[in-house]
Structure 1
Amino acid sequence: MKEESKVVNAFTTTSKNGQATPTLPYSEVQEDKNPRPLIRIIDAITIIVGIVVGAGIFRTPSIVAANTGSPELFLSVWLLGGLVSLIGALCYAELSTTFPNTGGDYHFLMRAFGKRFAFLFAWARLSIIQTGSIALLAYIIGDYLSQLYPIGSYSSAIFAALVVTTLTLINILGVNFGTGMQKLLFAFEFIGILCVIVVGFFISPSPTALSALPVTSLDNSSAIGLAMVFVLLTFGGWNEAGYISAELKAGSRKMVQVLVISILAITAIYLLINWAFLHALGIERIAASEAVGIDLMRVTLGEPGVLLIGVIVAMAALTSINATIFTGARTNYALGRDFEVFGRLGKWNSKTSSPVNALILQGMIALALIVLGALTRDGFQSMVDFTAPVFWFFFLATGVALFVLRAKEPGVVRPFSVPFYPVTPLIFCGSCAYLLYSSLAYTGIGALVGVAVLLLGMLFFFTVR
């Protein structure tokens, strides 16, 4: 009876005449500490597509072309990358609809493997994965702006820091500002990519400019595995959907629709833009190119085209950075909500509907990584090496979590179940395991630094409770 009384008192008050009257539920009273469902389906799609379709599509086609050797195989691996990503998205759709939570992967890993492993993931995301991704994307913009407006030896790092600071402040202003900025940037990016596709298909290259481009002789033996590493890296980022599942206005069940539409749109964009590169340049020139987008615009539109592609690449990187900042802070919020030592990160601002403290700390760490990249004199490559192995390790762990949660919580209602279980998640886990191996085998000392920071998180957990 005492427990029953507590429940009644939590939801009622007693009036002067002794009758119980309803009051606000606990969740509403604590509204300032919890996220509200304000994100629309179109917002979620633009966030996911904006994260994935970044500047990488203008950097990786040449590597993929060099390791495939034929136009047919070149396009086929991009299609295969979309298929593998769709399989992974179906796995995430089951987790996101069954366990919707602002913590995303963090929440899934906690339910599957416990607090220690979840803490390690949140630590990695705060110090390596998300902040490293923000820094490397900012360096893409910084490298371009430093070519146009050099302001000294560290101009690239300075521009990168300004980008991170500005976008973090915009997201601090609230969810409406963050998603509004994302839709604006995505619109500019989409127009830019559409321009590249139209130019590649419908404007004939100048024979003189085309003949000036380097051509490489391709070996008949192709390295499909290495090509897929770069293709799947270019597709990376769609898993961020898990971090906004609890804030989806239409309900977490719509995450299936959001993920499938996003992956199909991304695959279509990648196939069209690579087909445009093939149509204008040919496989041999793509493989020999160091900047395939610049080469395409130079042989079709001349130097004005080179300036245009620079703006397009900057827009693509800005779109990805803004979306990464938006979703990254959600994990930091979950970390503060569950661990007292990080309690300040678990504060949710009801006025802006954003985790302000989590955004501030995330921005500060990203700025510190930008400084670190500036000291190495190769910021972008350093950040890739730093983040890749840790990212794929936890991606694999999330795939395994699907199997664990099926076994641990069989009675939980699953609004969506991944089709062809267990084959589908096994394919996803196999892909992640291969990319984890590749990221350790092909990266430099930066990968070891990332692993060392991860181990530092383990030490921190056992030292400070």
Structure 2
Amino acid sequence: MSRSTDTTLPGTLSVLDVVALTVGVVVGASIFRTPSLVAENAGSPLLTFAVWGLGGGVSFIGAVCYAELASAYPHAGGDYHYFQRAFGDWMAFLFAWARLVVIQTGSIALLAFVFGDYASELLSLGAHSSSIYAAAAVLGLTVLNVAGVRLGKTTQRALTAATVLGLIVIVGTGLFLAPDAAASSTASGGGSMGSSQFGMAMVFVLLTYGGWNESAYVSAELKHVQKNMIRALLISLGLITTLYLLVNWAYLSGLGLGGMSGTDAVAADLMRATLGETGAIVLSVFVAIAALSSTNATIFTGARTSFALGQDASLFSVLGVWDDGANTPANALWIQGGIALALVGVGAATRQGFESMVDYTAPVFWLFFLATGVSLLVLRRTEPDVDRPFRVPLYPLTPFAFCLASVYMLWSSLAYTGVGALLGAGVLLAGVPLLWFRERAPADS
């Protein structure tokens, strides 16, 4: 792959553009599912708020690290390109493999389970209702994408706006329409949180904050990037953190800690408690649509990454086939869909679909986040003359802090999650022998 150190992109994006992108990517279906799991592990309202605030701080530290890499090395491959420069082809290949079989496909299954949980609120299909809906979502959206159907930019913006609007409705409902009994229950309860509960709470919190790194991919196109990147990151992450804290306040006010913990559809339960069954139905429809939108977007971007892998490595050349008629990477979509369906099956077998997919993806996700932080340190040393329009403040303390946070999250996701974590790690390691074959079957240029 050609390097792009000297690539200069036109500064066409404003701070508002980057803020809209970041908020749109981060605020998705997970915020309707994870708060109950965080509350269950936190054990008290105060600790619940604390871990959500800490998640915003960790996300900001990581985002500024990504911003330096993206502005210094503008490239469509993103992390793939950083790893290739800092560590060589082997790390880049393992990252691409992980995206194909763990990170992206696991995220598709995870989001599909959110759809399944809320669709089951509308019409239950039995003991495996959520898994049936999740599988139908993966299959249906894959077929649509193979046919060339994809969400347009205007539709994506509308759905993002609808998601934020829905969260504002939840905030208003929980804070101003909550039953007095539920609201008073949040005042009590000052439990403690052990290390295992804290680790699991942070796994779910940072999953919900996930996606802020997408803003780093457009940093090279941001006008006056030296001063505006920090502004865009501060504004977007500040908005997201504030919104997440308000949503959790609403959940606690409307349901209390006990009512919030352990439910599969916390937003629907809040609407049911305040506005009755009609409110729960309306909210479940909205969340199901938001989850489908997130799932479709993940299917779309994941298939393009897999297509790039097929173009770069002849071992995976079957992925690098483009359907000119439908203008889609059809083979990549079908294979990605098949893997995601298999992961839905894993979730169905454990009867904890969403949690199982978090277990499956989290260790691998944090391993490569750690590698990104290390790559920043490596490239600062090995390529000191590269122009860096944006530099991480308080270097090297900031990237060290990000690496330490990533190490802790990697350890937490391995130590405190279930068998899914071992499965995800095993699937990643299965890519190591493929390196040997790849070296003997180099990609066609």
Instruction: Give the alignment's TM-score, normalised by structure 2.
Output: 0.82
Q: Call closer, same or farther: CA 1:450–1:190 in 2, change over 3 Å.
A: same
Count residues in correspondence: 428
Contact 1:101 1:245 in 2 (8 A): no
Q: Call closer, same or farther: CA 1:119–1:220 in 2, change over 3 Å.
A: closer
Give the whole-Å Cα distance in 2 for the aligned partners of 1:421 and 1:249.
22
Does residue 417 of structure 2 align to residue 443 of structure 1?
A: yes
Give the whole-Å Cα distance in 2 for the aligned partners of 1:174 and 1:121.
27
Does residue 280 of structure 2 align to residue 280 of structure 1?
A: no
Does residue 160 of structure 2 align to residue 183 of structure 1?
A: no
After superposition, where does 1:408-427 map in structure 2 within 5 Å? 408-427=382-401
* Residue matched to 2:54: 80
Q: Which runs of 5+ in 2 are unaligned?
A: 3-8
Structure 1 residue matching 2:430: 3-state secondary structure: helix
TM-fit CA distance, 1:304 = 1.4
Contact 2:310 2:317 in 1 (8 A): yes
Which whole-Å deviations, capped at 9, do the CAs of 1:324-373 have from their partners, x for residues lacking one?
23432343233223222223544677898865554443233222322343
Contact 1:54 1:317 in 2 (8 A): yes
TM-fit CA distance, 1:289 = 6.0
* Residue matched to 1:405: 379
Q: Call closer, same or farther: CA 1:219–1:79 in 2, change over 3 Å.
A: closer
Contact 1:243 1:330 in 2 (8 A): no
Q: Call closer, same or farther: CA 1:361–1:258 in 2, change over 3 Å.
A: farther
Instruction: Give the alignment's TM-score, normalised by structure 1.
Output: 0.79
Rg larger for: 1
Report which stretch shifted further, 438-447 or 276-285. Answer: 276-285
Structure 2 residue matching 1:414: 3-state secondary structure: coil
Does residue 327 of structure 2 align to residue 368 of structure 1?
A: no
Report which stretch shifted further, 116-125 or 344-353. Answer: 344-353
Q: Call closer, same or farther: CA 1:181–1:367 in 2, change over 3 Å.
A: farther
Residue from 82, 87, 99 that aligns with 1:113 = 87
Give the whole-Å Cα distance in 2 for the aligned partners of 1:56 and 1:351.
34
* Residue matched to 1:124: 98
Amino acid aligned to 1:116: W
Q: Call closer, same or farther: CA 1:152–1:74 in 2, change over 3 Å.
A: closer
Contact 1:135 1:369 in 2 (8 A): yes
TM-fit CA distance, 1:190 = 1.8
Q: Call closer, same or farther: CA 1:148–1:68 in 2, change over 3 Å.
A: closer
Give the whole-Å Cα distance in 2 for the aligned partners of 1:216 and 1:66.
15
* Residue matched to 1:219: 191
Does residue 150 of structure 2 align to residue 200 of structure 1?
A: no
* Residue matched to 1:162: 136
TM-fit CA distance, 1:73 = 4.3
After superposition, where does 1:55-74 map in structure 2 within 5 Å? 55-65=29-39, 68=42, 71-74=45-48
Amino acid aligned to 1:268: T
Structure 1 residue matching 2:391: 3-state secondary structure: coil
* Residue matched to 2:287: 313
* Residue matched to 1:270: 244
Give the whole-Å Cα distance in 2 for the aligned partners of 1:65 and 1:153.
25
Report which stretch shifted further, 395-404 or 75-84. Answer: 75-84
TM-fit CA distance, 1:388 = 1.3
Give the whole-Å Cα distance in 2 for the aligned partners of 1:315 and 1:338.
35
Task: Provide the identity percentage.
Answer: 54
Which whole-Å deviations, capped at 9, do the CAs of 1:361-396 have from their partners, x for residues lacking one?
323322232234334443323222211111111111
Give the whole-Å Cα distance in 2 for the aligned partners of 1:159 and 1:352.
26
Q: Call closer, same or farther: CA 1:276–1:149 in 2, change over 3 Å.
A: closer
Report which stretch shifted further, 39-48 or 118-127. Answer: 39-48
Q: Which runs of 5+ in 1 are unaligned?
A: 1-26, 28-35
* Residue matched to 2:69: 95
TM-fit CA distance, 1:418 = 1.0
Which whole-Å deviations, capped at 9, do the CAs of 1:268-307 have from their partners, x for residues lacking one?
2102212223443445654576654234222211111221
Does residue 126 of structure 2 align to residue 139 of structure 1?
A: no
Does residue 212 of structure 2 align to residue 238 of structure 1?
A: yes
Amino acid aligned to 2:78: G
Contact 2:186 2:256 in 1 (8 A): no
Contact 2:111 2:294 in 1 (8 A): yes
Which whole-Å deviations, capped at 9, do the CAs of 1:204-261 have from their partners, x for residues lacking one?
4265x779x9998442567684343432232123224456678x69799887666544
Give the whole-Å Cα distance in 1 for the aligned partners of 2:101 and 2:120.
27
Report which stretch shifted further, 183-192 or 421-430. Answer: 183-192
Contact 1:104 1:331 in 2 (8 A): no
Does residue 298 of structure 2 align to residue 324 of structure 1?
A: yes
Amino acid aligned to 1:101: H
* Residue matched to 1:15: none
Q: Call closer, same or farther: CA 1:265–1:326 in 2, change over 3 Å.
A: farther
Contact 1:51 1:321 in 2 (8 A): no
Report which stretch shifted further, 417-426 or 158-167. Answer: 158-167
Give the whole-Å Cα distance in 1 for the aligned partners of 2:126 and 2:254.
36
Instruction: Output the aligned Cα RMSD.
Output: 3.7
Residue from 267, 292, 300 that aligns with 1:293 = 267
Structure 1 residue matching 2:74: 3-state secondary structure: coil
Structure 2 residue matching 1:159: 3-state secondary structure: helix
